[in-house]
Amino acid sequence: MEKKTVVVTGIGGNVGQGIIRNLRNSGLPLHIIGTNVTDFSPGNHLVDSFFKVPFAYDEGYTQAIAELVEQQNVDLVIPSTDYEVYYLSVNAAQLACPAATSGSVAAEAYLDKYLTFLHHQKFGIAFSESYLPSLYTGQFEKAIAKPRKGRGSRGLLKLNFDTSLLTDEEYMVQEMHEGDEITTAVYRSYLDGEILGLITMVRSLENGATTYSKVVKQYDEQMLFMAQKMAQNSDLRGSFNIQSIVTASDDIIPFEVNCRISGTNSIRTHFGFADVEYTVRELLYGQQIQAPKITYGIAHRILMDVIYPNAEHDNQLKGTSTDNFILF
C-alpha cells in the first residue's frame, strides 16, 4: 500500500491528539504532519513533523494550509476544530488535496449553535429550544447561556445571568435539561453518502473534556433516525457528533452538533467505531467501509506527562517524535 502524507490540525488539543493515535494504531503507511497555533504543545511528540499555522479565522490561515499541502506533498488534511472545518470547507477549492470536512452548508450550520437550532427547527429535527439574548424573556424554568461558536464548554453561564450583558452576535440562551449526557458519533460515507453506523456513549466531563464513557445501545434506533434526517437535509459527510441529554422520561434532546471527528475518537475505536481510520481509507485509498460492529465497554481517561529532560526554554521544543522525551 502506497505511503501517504496526512496533516492533522490542532494537535495541542485532545481531539487532534486522539486522531494521531488512531492513525498510528491503524497500521496504515502514513507520514503524519501536525499543525498548531503555537510552536510547542503536548501533541508535538506524536507527529513526524510539525508546522505552526495561524488561527483558522485569521486571514492567512487557508493560504498557510494550502502552501503546506503543496510544499509537503500532502494527500489529506484532517481538521480537529470547528473553525478549521468551516474555513477549509468553504475554501476547499484552494487546496490541492481533500480535507476531511462536510460541505460548506453543514459546516456553517453546525459551527454556530443558534444556526443549528434554526436549521433543525426548519426540518423538524429535535434540538434544545434556543433564543437570542434580546428575545429571551424568561421562557425557561432553567436556562443556560453559551457562546454561539466554538469554545468547547468555555464561556457558559448557568441559571442566574443577565441577558442585557450578552450580545446576539456572540451568545444564545438555551433551555437547560437535566439527565444523562450522551454523545453519539455518526459516520456518513464520503463515497456513497450512506450512514455506515453510529455509537452512543453515556459520559461524564471535566472542563469540557470527557473523563468517563460507557457504550449504550438502547438509543440507537432513535439516534439513527435523527442522523438520517440530518443527512437528508444537509451536506454532512464523514464523522459528526451529536451531544444530547436523556431526560428522566427518556426524551432525547440534542443540544449541540460537532461537524467533525470529536474528542472521544480515541476511545470509541476500541469499541468498534474507528471513524478516523474510515476517513483515511475512504479519502486516501477509495476503500469501501463495512458497517461497524459496536461492542460494549467502559473507558476512563487519566493524566500522563510528557517530559523533556534538560530543556530550559519552550523554543527548544518545536519538535516531533525525534526529540528526546519521556512519557510518564
CATH number at residue 15: 3.30.470.20
Residue 142: CB atoms within 10 Å: 10
Identify whether residues 148 and 288 lie together within a single domain.
no
Q: How far apart are the C-alpha atoms of 261 and 23, rounded to whole Å?
A: 13
What is the predicted pLDDT for the residue at 308?
87
Identify whether residues 99 and 145 lie together within a single domain.
no
Record the pTM.
0.94
In a domain, 317, yes or no: no
234 secondary structure, DSSP code: S
Identify whether residues 187 and 248 lie together within a single domain.
yes
- Cα angle value 151/154/155 (rounded, 5°): 105
| Average pLDDT, 10 consecutive residues per value, the chain (328 residues) | 95 96 97 95 92 96 98 98 97 98 97 98 97 96 92 77 95 95 98 97 84 96 98 97 96 96 96 98 97 97 88 72 76
Name the nearest CA neighbour of 299 among 259, 328, 263, 255: 263
- Cα angle value 258/124/127 (rounded, 5°): 40
Which pairing describes strands 76-78 and 49-52: parallel, antiparallel, or unpaired?
Answer: unpaired
What is the predicted pLDDT for the residue at 323?
64
What is the predicted pLDDT for the residue at 210?
86
Identify whether residues 61 and 192 lie together within a single domain.
yes
Q: Where does a domain end: 155, 175, 195?
A: 175
Phi-psi region of 307 (alpha: psi -120 to 50; beta: other; left: phi over 0): beta
Identify whether residues 167 and 143 lie together within a single domain.
yes
219 secondary structure, DSSP code: T
Identify whether residues 158 and 293 lie together within a single domain.
no
Q: What are the residues whose beta carbons fall under 8 Å from the beta carbon of 135, sequence distance 6 or more?
A: none
Identify whether residues 87 and 142 lie together within a single domain.
no
What is the predicted pLDDT for the residue at 135?
96
Q: What are the residues whose beta carbons fall under 8 Å from the beta carbon of 13, sequence distance 6 or more?
A: 43, 80, 81, 263
Q: How far apart are the C-alpha atoms of 68 and 59, rounded to whole Å?
A: 16
Identify whether residues 138 and 214 lie together within a single domain.
no
In a domain, 48, yes or no: yes
What is the predicted pLDDT for the residue at 192?
96
Identify whether residues 169 and 193 lie together within a single domain.
no
What is the predicted pLDDT for the residue at 153?
63
In a domain, 289, yes or no: yes
For the chain, the 3-state helix, strand and coil shares in percent, each to the nearest 5, are 30, 25, 45
Q: How far apart are the C-alpha atoms of 322 and 30, rounded to whole Å?
A: 16
Which pairing describes strands 4-8 and 30-36: parallel, antiparallel, or unpaired?
Answer: parallel
In a domain, 140, yes or no: yes
What is the predicted pLDDT for the residue at 82?
96
Residue type, 288: Q
Identify whether residues 144 and 166 lie together within a single domain.
yes
In a domain, 119, yes or no: no
Identify whether residues 99 and 25 lie together within a single domain.
yes
134 secondary structure, DSSP code: G
Identify whether residues 182 and 163 lie together within a single domain.
no
Mapping DSSP to helix (H, G, I), strand (E, B) and coil, where does residue 221 land?
Answer: helix
In a domain, 276, yes or no: yes
**HSE-up of residue 63 (Cα within 13 Å, Cβ side):** 3
In a domain, 300, yes or no: yes
In residues, how long is the chain?
A: 328
Q: Residue 137 is part of which domain span?
A: 129-175
In a domain, 298, yes or no: yes
DSSP secondary structure of 107-161:
HHHHHBHHHHHHHHHHTT-----EE-GGG-SS-SSSEEEEESB--TTTT-EESS-
* Structural domains of the chain, count: 2
